[in-house]
Amino acid sequence: MKFGRNKPCWCGSGIKYKHCHEAFDRQIKHIELQGHVVPTHEMIKTREQVELIKKSAVINRACLDAVDEAIHIGMTTQEIEDIVYETTTSMGGIPAPLNYEGFPKCTCTSVNSQVCHGIPSKKVVLKDGDILNVDCSTILDGYFSDSSRMYMVGNVSEQKKRLVKVARECVQKGLEATKPWGFLGDMAEAVHKHAEANGYSIVREIGGHGVGIEFHEDPWVSYVSNAGEDMLIVPGMMFTIEPMVNMGRADIFTDEENGWEVYTKDGKPSAQWEIQIYITEDGPEVICW
């Protein structure tokens, strides 16, 4: 779509297009003509939107901080659900996962070989040596934040500790490789190479996503592609880095009964950390963690 150079910019800044995003659009078009996938205007967040998303992220981080303080052997995953719900609502937020496409809870609690989308339950009791991912997402005034953390319960084996550590390193490697005017594949390659160098695998079918105005937006974010591939990264984009790192093979399956909980096929543990990032001219800014 073409915009009049002297008309207000499409971004809503009120500034004339020629003084705002004209050069930006021209650079994107040049890269698109080289055969690359490029973002749409809808994927670019305004400064005002980013500030509102950051307010949502304050609540999301508070939820995970509360879980940090409370987690213990003998705790049920439903108790984690209750903490997240109470923290979210007391701070004026809404849990984004609750009833999202039929998901029955406000957080995901994935234990050991559960890769993601674990459903909190009074029947799931945390045992000595368990590892789990707690993934929560928050809506505040219509704006979304999303992050997850790993937790180690009691005396965790050295093998599991190492998996959790490397999974966190994968996120950091991905963050360091994320540059404005680079490609999502640059980040993905840094992630999977670090996992594979440590003897682990990355889940292929489930990836990250854009977030902020909606719970899940474009682009879909892979962690198994290669440098120079996938979508161009430009300032204004916002997405998650959340690779799922398996101790064994990358193969997974979904529970047929509930249609949500994802497990490793070989029954070995999986670990995941998730951060939400905003791309600035100077590099990525971590919004939620």
Res 283: pLDDT:
97
Q: What are phi and psi of 16, to 5 degrees?
A: -60, 140
Average pLDDT over residues 265-288: 98
Flag whether pLDDT at 3 surpasses 80. Answer: no
Residue-wise pLDDT tens digits, 221-250: 999 999 999 999 999 999 999 999 999 999
Flag whether pLDDT at 141 surpasses 70. Answer: yes
Res 2: pLDDT:
62
Task: Write the CA distances from 102 to 74, 88, 138, 259, integer angstroms.
Answer: 28, 20, 17, 10
In the chain, domain spans: 35-288
What beta strand segments (E) does 182-273 contain? 201-202, 208-210, 217-221, 238-241, 244-246, 252-254, 262-264, 270-272
Residue-wise pLDDT tens digits, 170-187: 999 999 999 999 999 999
- Provide the 3-class DSSP secondary structure of residue 289: coil
Average pLDDT over residues 126-155: 98
Res 4: pLDDT:
83
Res 67: pLDDT:
98
* CATH architecture designation of domain 35-288: Alpha-Beta Complex (3.90)
